[in-house]
Amino acid sequence: MCENLLLVCAVFRIAVYTFFRRLCGFGPPPVKPNFTVLCLGLEGSGKSSILAVLSGEKYDDISPTKGFSIKALLFDDCIVDVKELGGGESVRPYWDRYYGGAQGIIFVVDSTSSDEKLKLASNELHKALGDPVLDDLPLIVLCNYQDKQEAKSPTQLQEILEVNLEDGHRTWSIHGCSIHDKDSIKHSFQELNKVLLHPKSHSKVNHSDNKDFSRL
């Protein structure tokens, strides 16, 4: 009997609290849109490090990703669950098993790689883009390791990776970044977020207000 009374009092207190919050204009916080994005790239290209930098974690002792890992990144305007797929030779053949549910693609390249490694990166990128599950999903290519003198520029890498501008059906952009420059990483992710949040304004027609973006 006494327990029931306590329960009724607790429910009453919650109801009064909720009523006054609403009355004062303090509704529940708005729910942010949530997206799922794939993060691909060869081993050592810096995927885990980039995600650690963005989420404010330590990045000086990161092990190669075995299989895959998921990290939720909180931005001002949305939450992005990034699914990183390990880039090692033994993991890459299984990438496509994890494509389901993706709404965008991040492809990370080590800009200091040898020609041979860049060719491999290009093959893996185009194999992924050719998968019907990833058809038309927005893409950002991150040219990482830009802190290194020998790094190739995004313009050079665009050509080497054969990111073709002409036969456009996908919104994409290419950016230079480094784990020692958080702003460069954040800026690139925000470009992707813009497309995820406003897919219509980034529809298949080229638009002049976003010169960064092209079509692939």
> Does 47 sit near ligand GTP (CB under 6 A)?
yes
Contacts of 212 (CB under 8 A, 6+ apart): 173, 175, 191
Q: Binding segment for ligand GTP among 3-11, 81-89, 99-107, 208-216 (CB under 6 A)?
A: 81-89
Q: How far is the CB of 43 from Mg ion (least distance, A)?
A: 8
Task: Give the amino acid at 72.
Answer: A
Q: How far is the CB of 198 from ligand GTP (least distance, A)?
A: 29
Contacts of 199 (CB under 8 A, 6+ apart): 138
Closest CA to 63 of 96, 39, 87, 92: 87
Q: How far is the CB of 102 from ligand GTP (least distance, A)?
A: 17
Q: Binding segment for ligand GTP among 5-13, 80-88, 118-126, 188-196 (CB under 6 A)?
A: 80-88
Q: At what angle do helices 47-54 and 182-197 cross, to 10 degrees?
A: 90
Tokens matching residue 3 = 């327990």
Choice from 86, 138, 154, 176 touching ligand GTP (CB under 6 A): 86
Tokens matching residue 26 = 């303090």
Give the Cα separation of 193 and 182 in Å (integer): 16
Q: How far is the CB of 86 from Mg ion (least distance, A)?
A: 6
Residues that bind Mg ion (CB under 5 A): 47-48, 65
Residues that bind ligand GTP (CB under 6 A): 41, 43-49, 62, 64-65, 86-88, 144-145, 147-148, 178-179
